[in-house]
Chains A and B, each alone.
Chain A
Amino acid sequence: MQKEFPVFSVLNSALNTISAALLIQRWYRQHVARLEMRRRCTWNIFQSVEYAGEQDQIKLYNYFGFLMDHFTPASSERNLISHIFRKNEICLDTEWERYFCYKSIEVTKSYTGPHLTFPVTFCGVSKLVEAFKHKEQLHARYVLQLLGETWRLLRTFPNISHVIACHTKPITICGDLHGHLEDLLLIFYKNGLPSSDKPYVFNGDFVDRGKNSLEILLTLFGFLLVYPNDVHLNRGNHEDHIVNLRYGFTKEVLGKYRVHGKKILKLLQMIFSWLPLATVIDNKVLIVHGGISDTTDLDKIARVDRQKYASALRPPKMKVHGCMTKMNENREREACGQVEGRRRVCSLTYHSSAPDHRHDLPRRSLNNTPVCSKLDLSVDEKLNSRCRLSGFDQARCELKKSDSYLESKTTETDLDEWKQIVDVLWSDPMPQNGCIPNEVRGGGCYWGPDVTEEVLRRNNLQLLIRSHECKQDGYEFCHNRRVITIFSASNYYEVGSNRGAFIRMGPDLVPHFIQYQASTTCRELTLRQSVGWTERSALQALREQLFIHRSDLISAFQEFDPNNKGMISVTHWASTTERVLNLGLPWRVLRPQLVSSTQHGMMDYQQWIKELSITEPKLEISDNSILDTMYKNHSNLETIFRIIDTDHSGLISFKEFHQTWELLRSHLKTEISAKAIADLAQSIDFNKDGSIDINEFLEAFRLVDISAHN
C-alpha cells in the first residue's frame, strides 16, 4: 500500500548525487533500526527467562522456609531439608582448620597440572593463569591450600574496603564474570595483570552459569593473596551456596573434584560469607554488586557480622513472626486473587503495609490455573491439621510468647541487618522515583533516581557503580549518570548477545570504559548475522518454555474456545500465553516467529502445540502429565536433589525421592499420585540398585530439541 509522492514521480529524470545518497542513508538507517528492535526483543526474551528462573528458585526456597516453620521438629520431612537451614555450625576455627587440612592429600608423580608454592607469588599466580588458559586443572591439595589461605585472609578484612585513587595507579573495576574465564583473560590481556601498580575491584558474581567458575575464583584469590591491598573483591548474589546449587557452580566443582569436591564446596561456602560487601573509592564512589534501597546505611553495613549470612536467601533467625504472617497473607491473596496484574512473589525481606493492599492488589504466581486455589487450601488444611495433631502450634505460640520479649529486639536488628545485605546484593535500578520490592527477582528492591540522590547525599558520595544486570554494551548509565552498571561477561545469553566492559578510574574519579567481546570464531559476525543467531537461540529457549507449559496453555486456550473448534484469535492467544508464562514479553510482536500461520486473525492452537513438540522422551513413560511436570520443574528438581544429597554422592534413595515428591507436590501444584511416582522411581533406577543417580535422572528429563539437528 504505497502512496506515490511527487518526489518519487521523478523516476525518469536523473537523481542527483545528493538525493541518491539521502535515499540510501534513509533506507539503511531504517534497516538498522529494525535489526535493533529484533535484537531488543531477543534480549527481553533471554532476560525474562533468566529472571523468571531466579524468581522460581526464591519461591522454592520460601516454600521450604514455610515448611520448616510449620512442620514438627521431629518429622522426617523436616530432617530432609533442615540441613539447608541449619544454623552455622559454631565450631572453633581450629576445628575447621583440621577439617580443611590439605596436608594429607598427596600430589602424585602422575599429576601433570600446575604446582603452587606457598606463600604464593606473582610469578606463581601468573603461571597458574597460563595453566588455566591451557585448560589444565589445579590439584585438589593446592586448591584447598589456596582456599584456606584466602579464608584466613578474608577474615581480617572489614565489611567495606576503602581504596584511595592515585595518579600513577588508576583503578580497574570489573563486573559479573559468571565463570567466563575467556573474558577474565581478555581483561588481563587488555589491561594487565593485577599488581600493586594495577589495583582491581571485582564486583561479585564470579561463579555460576559459565564453566570455569572455579578457575576464576582461584585466579582472583591468588592475586588477592599476593596483593591484599590492591585487589578488592565484593560479594555478589551468586556467592551463595544455595544459589550455586541451581546455577551450576556446585555441579562444576563436584564434577571436577570427585573426591574432595565436598570439602572444597564447604570451604568456599565460608569464604563467600567472608567476602566484603562493598568497596568505596576516595569516600566518594560506592561499588556494590546489586545496588541500594531507601534504607541503605553504610554505617550499618560496616557494623554487621557479615559471616553470619552464609546465604543471603535466609535470615539467621527463624522465629520470625513477620515472615510467617507474610506467607499467610500471600496465600490468602492467591486464593482470592484475580488473574490480571503484575507478577508477585513473596519478596524475601519486604514488609509492605500489607493489610491495606490485601484486597486491592491483584496477585498471581507462575503457573496459576483454576485448580491451584483449591489445592492451596487443602495444603493449608493439611498442614494445619498436622500442626494441631502434634500440638506444635500451641507449643509454638507459647514459645513465641515467652521468647518474644527476649527475642524481639535481636530479631528486629537481625532482620534489619539482613535487609541491608540483601538490598545491596539483589537490587536493581528503575526509571521511576520510589523504592519497591524487586518481585521479578524475588529479593532486594527496585530503587529510583530519588533514592540514588538521597542515599548518595546521606553518605556523602558522588557515584554508585554496580553490576548484577547484563547490558548489551557492557555498561550503562542511569539516574542522571549517578549510577553505572558494569558487566564483564560478554556473550552472556548467547554468542554475540552482548559485549563485556570494565572501568578505569583515576583520582579525578571520571570513569573510562573499555569494551570487548570474547569470540571463538575468527571473523566478526555482522550485525545482521549476530542478531539472527542470537534470535534463533532466544526463540528456541522460548519454544522450550512454551512446550513445558503446554498443558496449562491448552486449558487456558480452551476457555476462549467454548465450542471446541480448536481455534482462537491471535489477540486471545497473546494475552493467554502471557498469563500462563508470565514472562512480560511482547507476544504479538513475536507471533510471526512462533506461529506459522493465521487466517483472518485466528489460529489453530491445537496444531500449534503439536508443532511445538520438540522432544522424544528418553524413557517409556506413558503418562504425559508426569513428563510435563518433570520438564517444567527441571531446575527445581535439580536444586532439591542436590540439597538432599548431603554427602554429594550423586545418589538418592527411593525413600528420599518419594519424600521429596510428597514435599513438593503442593508447591509444584501437581496431582501426580504416589503410585505413579513410585513407578517412575523404579523406571529410573537405571542401575537397579535401589537408588537413583541424580545426573542420570536429570538427563532423562532434559529437553532435547530434535529440530536443532536440522
Chain B
Amino acid sequence: MSRRRSEQRLKRLIMSLTTRWMSGELWQYREREIGTIIYSLGCFPSQADLHDLIAEVEEDQTGYIHLDSFLPVMSKVLLEHKFPPIPEDLLLQAFEVLDKEKKGYLEHEELTKYMTQEGELFTQEEVDEMLTALADHEKNVVYYKDLINQLTIDPDM
C-alpha cells in the first residue's frame, strides 16, 4: 500500500477514535492525549519514546500538535513496528525478577516500591489504580501469573 494511502487510513482511524471536533485538515491535539492514541493503535512505547516522538512532531511549545505533522511520523512507527507488544514470557520474567523470594505473588508494598522508585516512575495515583485493578482483594497481593493470561491485548484493531 502506498504511503499516502496508509496515512489516509491512519488519519481516518485516529479521527474515529477521538472527539467530534475537527476543523478540516488542520487539527489540533493535546500532547498528553497523543500517548493514549499511540497506545490504542497497538504500540508499546516507553515514556522516553513518547517524549521523543512528540518532540519530533511538535512545532511550537503550545502543547498542541497538528495532525498533518503527526501522521507521517505515526505511519512510520506503525510500518516499522517500532514499539511492538511485550511478549508474555518476557513480562512474566520481569515480574519474577521483582519477586525476589519467588513467592508467586507480589505484595502491595513490593510493587509500590518498584513502580514508584525504579524505571519510569509511576505516580502515586497510577500505583493506587494498578493495585485496585490487579490485586486480589482478599489477600492484598498480586498474582502476576494469572494477570498475564487475563490482560492480553484485545485483537480488535
Contacts and interface: CB of A to CB of B under 8 A. Distances in A.
B91 A431 contact: no
Interface in A1-55: 1-3, 5, 8, 11, 14-34, 36-37, 40-41, 44
B28 A11 contact: no
Nearest to A593: B156
Interface string A519-554: 000011011100000000000000000000000000
Given A11-B89, A34-B39, A36-B36, A24 B132 contact: no
Contact of B44 (A20, A27, A432): A27
Interface residues of B, number: 49
B95 A527 contact: no
A5 B40 CA distance: 21
Interface string B36-53: 101110011111000000
A24 B94 contact: yes
Can you list the 7 inter-chain pairs with the closest CB atoms, starting with the nearest? A586-B16, A33-B39, A21-B119, A21-B118, A20-B94, A20-B97, A22-B119
Contacts of B71: none
A248 interface: no
Interface residues of A, number: 47
A27 B84 CA distance: 11
B145 interface: no
Contact of A526 (B16, B18, B133): B133
30 contacts: A2-B81, A3-B81, A8-B87, A16-B97, A19-B97, A20-B97, A20-B98, A21-B114, A22-B46, A22-B119, A23-B94, A24-B95, A24-B98, A24-B119, A25-B46, A28-B130, A29-B47, A30-B85, A32-B126, A34-B154, A36-B36, A36-B40, A41-B17, A431-B23, A524-B132, A528-B133, A584-B20, A587-B16, A589-B13, A589-B17
Given A24-B94, A33-B38, A44-B20, 16 more contacts: A8-B87, A15-B97, A16-B97, A17-B98, A20-B97, A22-B46, A22-B119, A24-B115, A25-B46, A28-B126, A28-B130, A34-B153, A40-B17, A431-B28, A526-B133, A589-B16
A435 interface: no
A592 interface: yes
Contacts, number: 128
Contacts of A24: 91, 94-95, 98, 114-115, 119
Interface in B61-114: 81, 84-87, 89-91, 93-95, 97-98, 114
A18 B23 CA distance: 43
Contacts of A1: 81
B56 to A, nearest CB: 19
Contacts of B151: 31
Interface in A576-604: 584, 586-589, 592-593
A33 B153 CA distance: 12
Contacts of B133: 526-528
A15 B84 CA distance: 19
B87 A588 contact: no
Nearest to A22: B119
Contacts of A431: 21, 23, 28
A587 B13 CA distance: 10
A19 B94 contact: yes
Contacts of A318: none
B156 A592 contact: yes
Contacts of B114: 17, 20-21, 24
A510 B17 CA distance: 34
B115 A21 contact: yes
Contact of A15 (B28, B40, B94): B94
Nearest to A5: B84
A15 B93 contact: yes
A37 B95 contact: no
A430 interface: yes
B115 to A, nearest CB: 7
A26 B44 contact: yes
Given A26-B46, A430-B21, A586-B17, A18 B86 contact: no
A15 B87 CA distance: 14
B39 A20 contact: no
* Residue among A24, A32, A524, A593 facing the most chain B CB atoms (10 A cut-off): A24
A37 B46 contact: no
Contacts of B115: 21, 24-25
Contacts of B126: 28-29, 32
Contacts of B25: none
Contacts of B90: 8, 11, 23
Contacts of B129: 32, 527
